[in-house]
Amino acid sequence: MLIRFWRGGFSLVLSFWVIAPLVAALAFALPEGVGYLVQGQDFNPALILAAIVAIWAIVVFAQLYLTVGVWRSAVHHRRDSMIGKRGLWGVAAQAVLFVAALNLLRVFVLTAVPELTEGTRMAFLDDPALPPYSMRLMRDGTEAEIAGGFKYGLARDAEALFASAPRLRVVHLNSAGGRLGEAIKLARLIRARDLVTYTSVACASACTIAYAAARERHLEAGARLGFHRSIFAGNENAGEMRRPLLAAGIEPSFVERAVAQPASSIWYPTDAELTSGRVVSAIVDSYRYAASGFGGRAPLAVFKTALRQSPLALLETSDPQLFDEMAELYWRRYVEDRSAGEIEDELRVTKISPFIAKRLPQADDDIQVDYARLYADQYAALEARDPAACFTFATKGGDARLAALLGAELQQRELALTDRVLRSTGARPPPQPAIVQLANTAVLEALSAQFDAPTVNLFADPSKVQPRQYDLFCRVAIARFRAIAALPERQAGELMSSLFGTAKSAKR
């Protein structure tokens, strides 16, 4: 029967209306069966490619088989019409077959070629569109980091790494994503070990599936999680992302918004949205865990690149030696598993602050005035939250924890001012004592109008300020810098330059 149909041995009616639809139905059912079998297996590029080849081989063979059989039957029908039968139906059947062949060619080019191409790259070329992944153990095996692309082999290597660290508690995930199937395998490992997941920089796309697998999920302040629907060979799928996110206990409304995001873009929710959506258990500071985000075996050049992407990039031109020292210090402390907060504090205290302190007395008047305004606003922000933090910030300087309390807007203002100081090339003369004295007198008068003499004198010796006076000390400090900023620009600039110069001399 199969051969008879192939040779066109059946009537056109039987071939076109009965046998051809049966072949088409079979061509639909068999690929569905292949897809169902593969769907239940762990992610394996070779298996996926084999399934893609099998599915399209079935489709192409079935189309070829029914086309040849019906075409030959139509040819026979047209030949028989010469002895009185109508041949138009044969022509119509051949026209339908021609259109169907063109449609298959279109679908093959638009769908099969991208699927076969991507499958081949996954199976034989190590997924070249995805960056290499890396992983490492930190802090005596209590923390691990996985960074880079989620490609085949990552979960296998992670399993071996986890097995070598019986005390492992936290896994850092910093990745732009990759293969969803590999993320699902890693998610199983995380659940099996009951690990805490943590992101210090960014975890997006498939990475979020592994991140969400933990019962306890931490995010460093300022880090981001990014979501969109999955994609393979140009075909997007919301369901594949929806299922594991819902299974992780994430709020359904959050999940729907996440999978509504096209694969060509990405949604980075706010901290409040992540918390209310039950995605993140806690926003933690930069001291909680070892510094991460650069993966394992990161060379010194990577840390130089990171500095070049910050406001400190100008140091490479203005003070190349200091720039190199900062990059090397960053790299060494990273390898030593120090926290990002500790590294930032050391860089600030030993490298950045001394350099800025040397430059500040030479800055132009407008920069000096803007620093007075910044200090007043910083003290006010800290005093409103924690007077003790304000006192520490005013008398000893800030660290990463205190900087986090300031909020993003004040941090950005300070970075912008730092950038202006680094760009400034002026060398102003020493402050003129007469102008400084005039400015100091005006500031003292402004403070005396608001506070009594003992309160104003709190600045004379901060070491004698009692904890109960922290709030009062900060209010005087705020009023002082607001009074300086209200002075004529020349007076304010000379006074601030004098204060910066005095602070620099005191540190020698």
In this structure, the answer to whether residues 139 and 253 fall within a common structural domain is yes
Q: How many domains does the chain have?
A: 3
pLDDT at 88: 80
Query: Is 301 contained in some domain?
Result: no
Of all residues in the chain, the percent with pLDDT exceeding 90 is 74
Question: Band of the pLDDT at 228, cuts 50, 70, 90?
Answer: very high
Distance between CA atoms of residues 181 and 123, nearest Å: 14
| Domain of 196, in residue numbers | 133-284
> Which of 310, 354, 301, 309 has the alpha carbon at shortest distance from 331?
301
In this structure, the answer to whether residues 144 and 107 fall within a common structural domain is no
> pLDDT tens digit string along 36-89?
788 778 999 999 999 999 999 999 999 999 999 999 999 888 887 765 556 688
Select the highest-mean-pLDDT range: 168-172, 229-233, 494-498. 168-172
Question: Band of the pLDDT at 498, cuts 50, 70, 90?
Answer: very high
- Tell me the CATH number at 220: 3.90.226.10
Query: Is 78 contained in some domain?
Result: yes
Token digits of residue 407: 């909020």
Query: Is 54 contained in some domain?
Result: yes
Find out whether 380 and 454 touch, Cβ atoms under 8 Å. Answer: no
In this structure, the answer to whether residues 120 and 23 fall within a common structural domain is yes
Q: How far does the chain reach from its first CA to its final CA, in angstroms?
A: 100
Distance between CA atoms of residues 496 and 490, nearest Å: 10
Token digits of residue 303: 């840390």
In this structure, the answer to whether residues 274 and 359 fall within a common structural domain is no
Question: 439-465 as b/e, with b when 16 or more CB fall inside 10 Å?
Answer: beebbeebbeeebeeebbebeeeeeeb
The residue written with tokens 């004698």 in the block is: 464
Greater confidence (488 vs 356) lies with 488
Domain boundary (124, 151, 180) is at 124
Q: What is the mean pLDDT of residues 153-170?
A: 97
In this structure, the answer to whether residues 184 and 104 fall within a common structural domain is no
Q: Which amino acid is present at 290? A: A
pLDDT at 507: 43
Query: Is 85 contained in some domain?
Result: yes
| pLDDT of 213 over the 80 cut | yes
Query: Is 11 contained in some domain?
Result: yes
In this structure, the answer to whether residues 88 and 178 fall within a common structural domain is no
In this structure, the answer to whether residues 243 and 351 fall within a common structural domain is no
In this structure, the answer to whether residues 391 and 495 fall within a common structural domain is yes
Q: What is the mean pLDDT of residues 180-190?
A: 97
Query: Is 413 contained in some domain?
Result: yes
DSSP string of 348-408? Answer: IIIIIHHHHHHHGGGS-HHHHHHHHHHHHHHHHHHHHH-HHHHHHHHHH---HHHHHHH-H
Contacts of 361 (CB under 8 A, 6+ apart): 428, 497, 498, 500, 501, 504
Query: Is 333 contained in some domain?
Result: no
Strand pairing of 217-220 and 282-284?
parallel
In this structure, the answer to whether residues 90 and 143 fall within a common structural domain is no
> pLDDT tens digit string along 75-133?
888 887 765 556 688 888 899 999 999 999 999 999 999 999 999 999 999 999 999 99
> pLDDT tens digit string along 432-441?
999 999 999 9
Q: What angle do CA 172, 177, 179 make, to 5 degrees?
A: 120
The residue written with tokens 């933990």 in the block is: 214
The residue written with tokens 């086309």 in the block is: 67
167 exposed, middle or buried (CB, 10 Å; 0-12, 13-18, 19+)?
exposed
Query: Is 292 contained in some domain?
Result: no
DSSP secondary structure code for residue 240 in this structure: H
In this structure, the answer to whether residues 137 and 233 fall within a common structural domain is yes
Question: Band of the pLDDT at 506, cuts 50, 70, 90?
Answer: very low
In this structure, the answer to whether residues 112 and 156 fall within a common structural domain is no
Q: What is the mean pLDDT of residues 361-380?
A: 94
Domain boundary (65, 90, 124) is at 124
Distance between CA atoms of residues 406 and 383, nearest Å: 10
3-state helix/strand/coil string of 306-323:
HHHCCHHHHHHHHCHHHH
Domain boundary (124, 158, 177) is at 124
Token digits of residue 53: 């080849």
Cα-trace Rg, the chain: 35
- Share the mean pLDDT of the chain: 92
In this structure, the answer to whether residues 348 and 446 fall within a common structural domain is yes
